[in-house]
Amino acid sequence: MQTKKTGTQTFTFASPPSIAGHACVVGKKEGQGPLAHSFDIINPDTTFGEATWEKAERTMQKMALQAALEKAKQSTSTLDLLFAGDLLNQCISSGYAARDANVPFFGLYGACSTMGESLCLASMALDGGFGERAGAVASSHFCSAERQYRTPLEYGAQRSPTAQWTATAAGAVVLARTGDGPYITHITVGRIRDKGIRDASNMGSAMAPAAYDTLKAHFADTGRSPDFYDLIVTGDLGRLGRAVVVELFRRDGVELSGVYDDCGCMLYDLEGQDVHCGASGCGCSASVLTGHLLNGMREGRWKNLLFCPTGALHSPTSLAQGESIPGICHAVAIAREI
């Protein structure tokens, strides 16, 4: 078999997998933001009827997969593989959400890049001949993330101006080996980049070099320039990280800003919703993709999209031990037609 590798880190699919279904489920704050119209389910109190935030997150993740399966006219029993991840220690949202699904399961940890990682691996599996359908899922919950990574909500801690707001959101995609699109045509798998940022309230700056590295590799590997795409979205870099990416490309003489946005800048109203630098969390890029972006592609607003979620691969322990924050970004090229 011919290799599907193009350049240093991009893979071109021989039979681009088709997005058969996609759905997102979010909390109250996300439902008050500018993308409210694009969400499948908005929970009015962010508990999803559960007694703990951790259980709420897994319920939200199950609802997202269920909704995506319904749109694809499938059920968990027709999935060959399920790829899922989240931010919680030991990825418990994904493990417990998948417990009743009875589907061959791969748990992932890519921090906020997880929607990209799950789409890459699910696409590779289908293009490689490993089944007919695969699920790709990611989630985060503001309240479970705050108490794990920062401080319990009850402390009422003040947030730094560079901080981002972890989205309460889950996104799910059901991919099929064949179908009528949109199609995943290429992936550029990220390498870890670390420029020495040690401030856990400045994730955008920590992850921006990884986004720059992956985008640059994608353009070099494919020979495409940024304007090949109708829209390039990173995420969740937020306002500051987004500006860093634009500036890094400007130094190379490449102007991104006309076609470029960031999921962390899109999910909330940055002026009116008190989220400082924007949104973050696996659920941020997962819900922006599975709502606003894929809906827009289906409605004909965009033909070619480059979806590039970013993740920060640190932990509170690694920061306490003086380490900096490594970033990663995976790029997924999605085309309306092939």
Footprint of its own copies (CB under 8 A) = 1-5, 9, 11, 14-15, 52, 54-55, 80-81, 85, 87-92, 95-96, 98-99, 101-111, 117, 120-121, 124-125, 127-132, 148, 189-192, 194, 313-318, 321, 323, 326, 328
Q: Which is nearer to its own copies, 121 or 163 (CB)?
A: 121
CB of residue 147 to its own copies, shortest distance in Å = 9
Q: Which is nearer to its own copies, 14 or 338 (CB)?
A: 14
Q: Which is nearer to its own copies, 300 or 322 (CB)?
A: 322
Write phi, then psi, for 186 (nearest 5 degrees).
-140, 155
Q: Which is nearer to its own copies, 31 or 326 (CB)?
A: 326
Q: Which is nearer to its own copies, 275 or 313 (CB)?
A: 313
Q: Which is nearer to its own copies, 194 or 230 (CB)?
A: 194
Whose tokens are 């503001």? That residue is 142
CB of residue 259 to its own copies, shortest distance in Å = 24
Q: Which residues contact 334 (CB under 8 A, 6 or more apart)?
A: 19, 182, 183, 184, 185, 294, 297, 304, 305, 306, 307
CB of residue 274 to its own copies, shortest distance in Å = 27
Q: Taking Cα atoms as reference points, which of 144, 135, 177 lies closest to residue 23?
A: 135
CB of residue 322 to its own copies, shortest distance in Å = 9
Q: Which CA distances in Å does 21 have to 137, 150, 197, 216?
A: 12, 35, 38, 30
Q: Which is nearer to its own copies, 179 or 296 (CB)?
A: 179
Residue 161 CB burial class (10 angstroms; 0-12, 13-18, ≥19): exposed
Helix (H), strand (E) at residue 246: helix 238-251
Count of alpha carbons within 13 angstroms of residue 321, beta-carbon side: 6
Residues linked to residue 10 through DSSP beta bridges, in sequence order:
6, 188
Q: Where are the beta strands (DSSP E) in the chain?
A: 5-6, 10-12, 18-26, 41-42, 81-86, 105-108, 133-140, 165-166, 169-176, 183-188, 231-235, 260-262, 279-280, 304-312, 327-329, 331-335
CB of residue 208 to its own copies, shortest distance in Å = 16
CB of residue 189 to its own copies, shortest distance in Å = 4
Q: Rounded CA gap, 153 and 156, in Å?
A: 6
Q: Which is nearer to its own copies, 136 or 259 (CB)?
A: 136
Q: Taking Cα atoms as reference points, which of 74, 66, 79 lies closest to residue 130?
A: 79
| Buried/exposed code over 14-45 (b: 16+ C-beta within 10 A; e: otherwise) | eebbbbbbbbbbbbebbbebebeebbbbbbee
Q: Which is nearer to its own copies, 36 or 338 (CB)?
A: 338
CB of residue 329 to its own copies, shortest distance in Å = 11
CB of residue 4 to its own copies, shortest distance in Å = 5
CB of residue 39 to its own copies, shortest distance in Å = 27
Q: Rounded CA gap, 61 and 286, in Å?
A: 11
